[in-house]
Amino acid sequence: MRVAALYDIHGNLPALEAVLEEVEHAGVDAVVVGGDVASGPMPAETLALLRAFPARVEFVRGNADRILDFVGNHGGDLELWQRCRLWVAERLTEDDLRFLRGLPLDVVLDVDEIGRVRFCHGAPGSDTETITRLTPAERLRTLLCGVAERAVVCGHTHVQFDLSVDGVRVLNAGSVGYPYEAAPGAYWLRLGPDVRFRRTTYAIDDACRRIRASGYPRADEYATEVAQKDPDRPEHLSRLIEGV
């Protein structure tokens, strides 16, 4: 099996449309949507496009897929964050909300030439635990405790990386819709028979226009982040999360 891993789409429909166009020609057998799919400026349209995609699609739950969960270390402006969650929920159907709540934390697939791969959002069994390229080996061992697979694909931090500990390879697929990378684009991962980190370019200016017209409470901030260019951004974020 060959797999496209699409993570952290965050309701960025233009980015997803561009990636799915490439996926259709990438020779994959399945798509794994690795969490945080709808929470963003075009939630209903993004989820509907994936649920109707004419290929096998497996979903993993992300922390933002618990749309109306207002408990946790969300950071930032609490009132704005809650308004965003409510805004997204109002645009999804009850079936959409049930679907997102019921998603599994992990999916395991057998990938060509790689073997069994565990797909999760933050870390195995968690949609909130965080792994970065700077995560110390001892903490990584703790997060991977009990994992039988030799490869784990995660997301959550919106930065692609490839690292290993004790023979387990940990890959971050990056973010399709809201990447914290050096250059704008939609970042994803293709698995089988090898590992290929992908960056899909798309019409960022038009996407930002659509985002700002959506009515999403964080639309201006979101559009600014999507268009940002910063060569130090991935390293800065990893250091910020790890506190180093």
| pLDDT tens profile 23-66 | 999 999 999 999 999 999 999 999 999 999 988 999 999 999 99
Give, for 181, the enclosing helix (H) or strand (E).
none
| Sequence spans of domains, the chain | 3-242
**Domain 3-242 part of CATH 3.60.21.10:** yes
**Residue 74 pLDDT exceeds 60:** no
Residue 89 has pLDDT above 70, yes or no: yes
Omega before 124 within 30 of 0, i.e. cis: no
Alpha carbon separation from 110 to 10, 160, 182, 196, 206 (Å, rounded) = 27, 22, 32, 17, 38
d(CA 204, CA 226): 8
Alpha-carbon gap, residue 206 to 187, rounded angstroms: 18
